[in-house]
Amino acid sequence: MKISAVLLLVILPLLAFTQKSDSLKGSKLDFGFTFSPEYCNSILKSTDDRQFLINILDTLETSKYGYTIGTDISFKLTDKISFASGILFSNWGENVKTVDATALKGITNHYYYLNLPLKLNYYAWSRREKIKFFMSGGLSANLFLTHKVSTQYTNSSMKGNAAGNNNLSKLNFSANVGIGFDYIVSDNCYFKFETIYQQNFTPILNSPIKRFLFSIGPNIGFYFHF
């Protein structure tokens, strides 16, 4: 599951509005709601001679679609720099194909986390005070909630769900980078569109083969300016 450079070239979603130009004034504090559909998978690494197992798993595991949803608070430090944090709920994981001819078609791992991010936004330039482009980067502490496994059978009408491995690390950390823009609706609210790439730098399980989750996707938020 090598990370393709093509994934980092996700095109930012476009938005067209027909309102008069406004700029945000007043308080430096913003509060918003965010949602991000995500393309998820994991990277496998080993410190000993288990590369052959990783190669096998790489052929069986494929990406799945997940999501992140939650609330966000942003504090404007200067005209170009702001800090953001919040409380987010994520569903990450991967699909696993079967290698035999049984009725089982494959399984999907769902890892559920409560995330506490902290990131910096740098506003590089704006267009007519209506659209403000920015780059972002930061860290996140991810609290493990639960692991569930979904099974798919060759008969598409048959599906199943079961509890997974709930002995995964209770806490892991990830880094994220992004690029996007704010679209100002009025003095009191704005939309935020951002493409975010996030990857764990601590494994979700301390075992000979270590698994590092990653995700990429468009983040869409609506913010109130106080």
Please list the pLDDT of the chain residue by residue as tens digits (226 residues).
Answer: 444 433 333 333 333 333 333 445 556 899 999 999 999 999 998 877 778 888 888 888 899 999 999 999 999 999 899 999 999 999 999 998 876 656 677 889 999 999 999 999 999 887 777 899 999 999 999 999 999 998 877 666 556 666 667 788 999 999 999 999 999 999 899 999 999 999 999 999 888 888 999 999 999 999 998 8
pLDDT digits (tens, 9 = 90+) for 185-205: 998 999 999 999 999 999 998
The CATH architecture annotation of domain 29-225 reads Beta Barrel (2.40)
The half-sphere exposure of 182 on its side-chain side, counting CA atoms within 13 A, is 33
Residue among 201, 160, 157 nearest 177 (CA): 201
pLDDT digits (tens, 9 = 90+) for 51-96: 888 888 888 889 999 999 999 999 999 989 999 999 999 999 999 8
Rounded to two decimals, the pTM is 0.81
Domain map (residue ranges) of the chain:
29-225
CB environment 147-181: b (16+ within 10 A), e (fewer): bbbbbbeeeeeeeeeeebeeebeeebebebebbbb
